[in-house]
Structure 1
Amino acid sequence: MHTLTALAERGHRRWIAQIVVLVISLGLVFGIGMVSAIRMRRKEQDGFGISGWQVKPLAIAHRGDDSAPENSTHAIANAGANGADYAEIDVRLDANGVPVVFHDRMTGRLAADGRNVPVASLSTHELQHMIMRQNGENYHVPTLEEAIMAAQHSNDHLGLLLDLKTGSNGAAPLTHAVSRVIERRDFSNRVMVMAVNDDAIADMRALHPDWQIGKCVSPAGHPEVGWPRDASFVVMRGNRMDTAIVRRAARDNVPIYAGVSGDYAEGRRCLRMGADGVLGASARRVHRLADRFAMPAGANGSVHSAHEDSRPVWR
């Protein structure tokens, strides 16, 4: 009887061992397949071979791609289709406290009927039923949630750079509302947030210290160039950028992006100085510009200049 029990126990252990071996084998096969897929994707993306990385500045479409009305879901989708890494959009609150995507404080510049009222005075329903028009195309003001959905549907990597339009009094309501939408859509890994207002930056930093939160500096009428010590990045007008500012950003280990609108010669000048990216009206043009300044990185993470000495080493 004892012998039969021992044999049964050995058989049971052997059966368990076989299952463990099978599970490990399947895991290894799956893991190898995943690694191969990652390497193949990297190779397809960088063009420098399986062992290399391509390092290049960010291509950011200002207010989305200029082939569609600014800040529209169409402009966001086209930014993704035309190669942008990010679509920069402007966010403010409507009368219901809903974050909507609109640059101006007043509606008049884009309202098809010329109606000129504060965005903050309109409910979400009123605003979305108000026809806007730009470049011959009618559209409706999207909510931030709709903008995020447009980016998610565009491709699996297009990010959004949110420019928070607020003063100090409205900073807390806007940052909290924006934060809720981003969390609800599980989009934090594809978003950067910036503001001119330091209170908005501080409020968002307090809510999410791990997010990419930056400073928009030197807008019209504000000649100073400075940024908070804990800024994740800086955005500034390209025509204000010089080598001293770029070196200061490098010393602070803060990426700096140049807003150039449609002046791509200005974009080239900023990238040669060492800017980390360009905001321009055309996603296709900023994508091509970023590609011109792409460089291969070695397996140890070092970046090697592939062309003339004037090209910077990206941080």
Structure 2
Amino acid sequence: MKLSITSLMCKPIVFAHRGASGICFENTMSAFKEAVRQKADGIELDVQLTADGVPVVLHDVDLYRIAGIRKRVSSIHSSELAGVKVGGKLFRRFMGHRIPSLREAVTFCELNRLALNIELKETVSERPENLRAIIDMAIMLDNVHISSFDSEILKNVKAMEPTIETALLVKRKTTEWNRLENYYYVDGFNFHKRLLKEPYSSALIASGKKLRVYGMTGKEAIAAQPPSYISGWITDYPGRFK
């Protein structure tokens, strides 16, 4: 069946969640390169801050799960973090990956013409004075948005740089579902596929904002025939959408 230009334009953007993390270790350059190989449209990644305020690509607030080190990333200088190897428990010593900086990831996306979803994590919320540096890196890209579960940090982002796109990661219990208009400082909502049901889906659609769904595997029925209100999929398996 031939696809029209209109249908191609409406197709949701596919973001590789922490890179192609279904195959490679999350938030590493290997995962980002695999995302390119699988023809992802963009990358979703997480940002934490080191002790000296360097934004690095890391999901957890500490290094225990990914590196076996019981330290918060915010207590480690970026020069020390550069020597830390992350990966599977049995292989990280010999085949571990290093933790990329946000600047490195942004440059990678620029060179490969990828969209980028930057999720701000706990250590950024703790030190919002470092936001300006993150925003300055982000605006190097044509297609970028900053997301977070923390609505206050997104409000700060929008105040600093009104032109940058923002997205709130919504939760079933804590989001003001009857007052989504209160989130005037965000341009979109990113949410888990479990919320693709009533009453949440109607509220999200009525907001008129960009909607991106995470937790997708590519095997869901909705992935084959995406509704027009979905702007993007966030998935560990970008190749399944291509």
TM-score interval (norm. to shorter)? 0.7 to 0.9
* Unaligned stretches of 5+ residues in structure 2: none
2:235 aligned residue: 280
The 2-side partners of 1:128 and 1:99 are apart by 12
Q: Quick one: which of 51, 74, 83 aligns to 1:120? A: 74
The 2-side partners of 1:125 and 1:139 are apart by 15
The 2-side partners of 1:167 and 1:116 are apart by 16
Contact 1:243–1:273 (8 Å) recurs in 2 = no
Q: Quick one: which of 131, 134, 152 aligns to 2:85? A: 131
Q: Quick one: which of 191, 202, 207 aligns to 2:155? A: 202
Normalising by structure 2, report the TM-score.
Answer: 0.84
Aligned-pair CA distance for 1:246: 2.9
Higher strand share: 2
The 2-side partners of 1:272 and 1:191 are apart by 22
Q: Quick one: which of 110, 117, 127 aligns to 1:152? A: 110
* Unaligned stretches of 5+ residues in structure 1: 1-45, 289-315
Structure index of larger Rg: 1
Q: Quick one: which of 218, 224, 228 aligns to 2:175? A: 224
1:28-77: CA deviations, max 9, x gaps? xxxxxxxxxxxxxxxxxx9646x986321121111111232101122122
Aligned-pair CA distance for 1:223: 4.8
The 2-side partners of 1:128 and 1:200 are apart by 27
The 1-side partners of 2:80 and 2:191 are apart by 34
1:262 aligned residue: 217
Normalising by structure 1, report the TM-score.
Answer: 0.66
Contact 2:16–2:236 (8 Å) recurs in 1 = yes
1:210-231: CA deviations, max 9, x gaps? 1111101117xx4535451342
Higher helix share: 1
Give the CA RMSD over aligned residues.
Answer: 2.8
- What aligned pairs does 1:46-57 form with structure 2 within 5 A after superposition? 48=4, 54-57=9-12
1:59 aligned residue: 14
2:146 is the alignment partner of 1:193: yes
Q: Give me the identity figure in percent.
A: 20
Query: Would the alpha carbon gap of residues 109 and 276 (structure 1) be closer, same or farther in structure 2, given more than 3 Å must change?
Result: same
Aligned-pair CA distance for 1:283: 1.4
Contact 2:63–2:72 (8 Å) recurs in 1 = yes
Q: Which runs of 4+ in 1 moved over 4 A?
A: none
The count of corresponding residues between Structure 1 and Structure 2 is 232
Aligned-pair CA distance for 1:177: 2.5
- What aligned pairs does 1:93-104 form with structure 2 within 5 A after superposition? 93-104=49-60
Query: Would the alpha carbon gap of residues 119 and 151 (structure 1) be closer, same or farther in structure 2, given more than 3 Å must change?
Result: same
Q: Quick one: which of 61, 84, 88 aligns to 2:44? A: 88
Query: Would the alpha carbon gap of residues 246 and 206 (structure 1) be closer, same or farther in structure 2, given more than 3 Å must change?
Result: same
2:110 is the alignment partner of 1:163: no
Letter in 2 for 1:55: C
The 1-side partners of 2:170 and 2:213 are apart by 10
Letter in 2 for 1:124: S
